Structure 1
Amino acid sequence: MQSHKVQLRLMGSDFELIVVEQDAATSQQRLHEGVAEIQRIEQLLTEFNNTSQTALLNRQAGVQPLQVDEEVYALIARCIRLSTLTQGAFDITAGALKALYNFKGSSFQLPDAATLAATLQAVGSQHIQLQGDRTVYLSRKGMRIGFGAVGKGYAADRVKALWMAKGIKNGVINASGDLTAWGTQPDGSPWKIGIADPDNPAKIMLWLPINNAAVATSGNYEQYFEQNGIRYSHNIDPVSGKPVPFIKSVTVVSPSAELSDALATAVTVMGREAGMYLVDQLPNVHCLLIDAENQVFQSRHINIHATA
């Protein structure tokens, strides 16, 4: 068996798609189909294209309902359930809050209390109304939904399903380190993913073997700011409207890339105790958390390799 791959920029991330297959022509066809599927989903979900269903929904917020494709309707329904499961720590309506913060520049400022309170009025999955015939209504003016926390995972799950239906028994979809893998490497060894040291992202702290699972990491080592000696991540608590402190990275392993994506964000927002408690209640879900003091915490049944 041989490994065939393609690397390109999709959905704002560096994707690497890998197929392990003897026949090169078949592998290239599967890779082409995988890229096309991710591009299709990106056009459907992106906030940065005026004709996407996300953009159309946001424009109609507080105005009127909009009929959407069946898969978008189903994705929104799953996101609402995840918001309920995480007590609002994961919420696709948090986009309105992100406009209040600049994590990439040096001129970071917290919004004033009045601005934050007004913005929070347009946040909350309870304000998304799922109506009959695939109709969605964002019931408050100024609401903005965004799939940044689950879109890559959803796309990876779709490509995996597509490839498995066509007989691909070993493959990887890697979106900037968020990785979905099944089967084995060409030499029969398991796929594995390295967990970066938050203080030195080029250094691997731990290795996780991956078998028919998906891994997603939410970390504050790329986009963050420090104030009064406290580092805040780019993840925003949808309930308080404020950036999340005290956690450097959260890695979640689950059977679904969409679920891993969402839970990595949710656990970061919930904090170590509540987040780990939630993970330990979920079947086949595991978590690795690194706090502000570089202490490593893990859920009950996670399997870690300390070395390569």
Structure 2
Amino acid sequence: MVMRGIAGRCAAALLVFLLAVMMAACTRPELHRQEAYVFGTRVDLTVYGESRELADEAMAAVLREFDRLHRTYHAWEPSELTTLNAAIARGEIATVSGELATMLTDAQRLSELGNSLFNPAMGALIEMWGFHADEFVPRRPDPAALQAVLEASPRMSDLVITGNQVGSRNPAVKLDLGGYAKGYALDRAVAILRSKGIENALINIGGNVMALGKKGDTPWRLGLQHPREPQPLATLPLYDGEAIGTSGDYQRYFELDGKRYSHLLDPRSGGPADATQSLTVLITPREGAGTLSDAASKPPFIAGDNWREYTRRYGIEHALRVAADGHIEVTRELRGRLQFPSGSAPVTVVD
């Protein structure tokens, strides 16, 4: 029996971020960094070309916002979200903040685009698999309880949102915004940094990364985590307003009796999706790019060999998949941006 928790997630997050800052620590005093641990993962903020005072003030404001989001929308510790879940379970209509109502409306839209493979309403399944805990408990759900949730089929479309009033046609809905909140936080971070006059920054929340401006005369550059090795799978430049999101079976998982069980659950079967090791999407500049980078990586990961259909559903042309057997597939648009290390496995380019 093997468990992978906080240490593994932090190592993966640090590796993704490494190439963006590795040359700056000793030679560029205008590059400022702050780190924290929020959303169950490591957060790294980097600001370029500003005074230490302004950079520290802006990054502190971002970290305060991250802490607020973490506490407000926590899936199992007391929060506005757990209060809403309790009301739904009782068959009641709850009054929520305008922010939460907007987030849920947006999550409904993204869920529909992904044919409900992105499904924040299935918090009960996530809890059954032991992922509603800071340290994972390696266990398989009770088959009867799992089947009951599958038959109830909670979906985001079950929610009825009228202004700040939220109810559900289905009391089995149990909301978990873990596949949405990090991306939303990226968008909030960019808004805060811009309001503070910051023009060049990089925000990394456990491998979900968004770029603001550039680093001097060059774009920000980062590495994509290899799902099975402690090194980058590939590197690429990230330009102003772009965001990257990766869903991987190495981020939150446990091993039991020699089998890997990740937190990325297939709502159709109720079990972990196992056809893919990692799925990365690059979102070109658009409104809500950070949020999309988080939510839109889930359906293609779960879809397995049919992954390209789901990236198209979200209007994403830059994507990369590492299949369960380690084979790498990448869209033509993203292949032109990537640099693979020598000796890498063969890559299949898809349209």
Q: Does residue 1:34 correspond to 2:62, yes or no?
A: yes
Match of 1:306 in 2: 340
- The number of aligned residues is 302
Shift of 1:222: 4.0
* Deviates most, 6-15 or 16-25: 16-25
Paired residue for 2:83? 56
1:130, 1:165 → 2: CA distance? 30
Provide the residue aligned with 1:264 in structure 2: 297
* Letter aligned with residue 84 of structure 2: L
> What is the TM-score when the length of structure 2 is the normalising length?
0.79
User: In 2, distance between residues paired with 1:290 and 1:284?
Assistant: 17
| Partner residue in 1 for 2:15 | none
Q: Is the 8 A contact 1:182 1:210 kept in 2?
A: no
Q: Conserved in 2, the CA contact under 8 Å of 1:171 and 1:181?
A: yes
Residue 107 (structure 1) shift: 5.2
How far is 1:294 from its partner? 0.9
1:209·1:305 contact (CA, 8 Å) conserved in 2?
A: no
- Deviation at residue 82 of structure 1 after TM alignment: 0.9
Corresponding residue for 1:75? 103
Does 2:117 match 1:84?
no
Q: What CA deviation, in whole Å up to 9, does each residue of 1:38-76 have, x standing for no partner?
A: 1222222112432x2101101111421111111111110
Structure 1 outlier segments of 4+, above 6 Å: 103-106, 226-230
The gaps in structure 1 that reach 5 residues or longer are none
Aligned counterparts of 2:53 and 2:138: Cα–Cα separation in 1: 51
Is the 8 Å Cα contact of residues 58 and 138 (structure 1) preserved in structure 2?
no
* Cα deviation 1:161-219 (Å, max 9, x = unaligned): 1212332111111112211112111x42211221222221x211201211121111111
1:59 and 1:122, CA in 2 relative to 1: closer, same or farther beyond 3 A?
farther
Give the superposition deviation at 1:106: 8.4
**Aligned ranges for residues 191-230 of structure 1 at < 5 Å?**
191-200=220-229, 202-211=230-239, 212-224=241-253
RCO comparison, higher one (Cα < 8 Å, 6+): 2
Mapped contact 2:303–2:310 kept (Cα < 8 A): no
Please say if 1:95 is aligned against 2:123: yes
Equivalent in 152, 160, 163 of residue 129 of structure 1: 160
Q: Determine the C-alpha separation between the residues in 1 that align with 2:41 and 2:120.
A: 19
Structure 2 residue matching 1:61: 3-state secondary structure? helix
- Per the TM alignment, residue 109 of structure 1 is displaced from its structure 2 partner at its CA by 2.9
* 1:137-162 superposed Cα distances (whole Å, 9 cap, x missing partner): 13333431011111111111111012
Q: Which has the higher strand share?
A: 1
Tell me if structure 2 keeps the 8 A contact 1:279–1:299.
no
RMSD (Å) for aligned C-alpha atoms: 2.3
CA drift of 1:297 comes to 0.8
Aligned letter for 1:280?
R
Shift of 1:220: 0.9
1:7 maps onto 2:49 in alignment: no
**Contact 1:122/1:141 (CA < 8 Å) preserved in 2?**
no
Output the amino acid matched with 1:95. G
Residues 50 and 198 in structure 2, CA contact (< 8 A), matched pair in contact too: no
Aligned to 2:262: 233
| Residues 1:278 and 1:109: Cα distance change in structure 2 (over 3 Å) | closer
> What is the aligned partner in structure 2 of residue 157 from structure 1?
187
Conservation of the 8 A alpha-carbon contact between 2:49 and 2:200: yes
Q: Is residue 278–residue 322 contact of structure 2 (8 Å, CA) maintained in 1?
A: yes
Q: Separation in 2 of the partners of 1:245 and 1:218?
A: 12
State the shift of 1:229 in Å: 7.7
The yes-or-no answer on 1:291 pairing with 2:318 is no
Partners of 2:142 and 2:320 in 1: how far apart?
Answer: 32
Distance 1:226 1:25, change over 3 A: closer
Aligned-residue offset at 1:231: 4.6
SS of residue in 1 equivalent to 2:112: helix
2:232 is paired with a residue whose SS is: strand
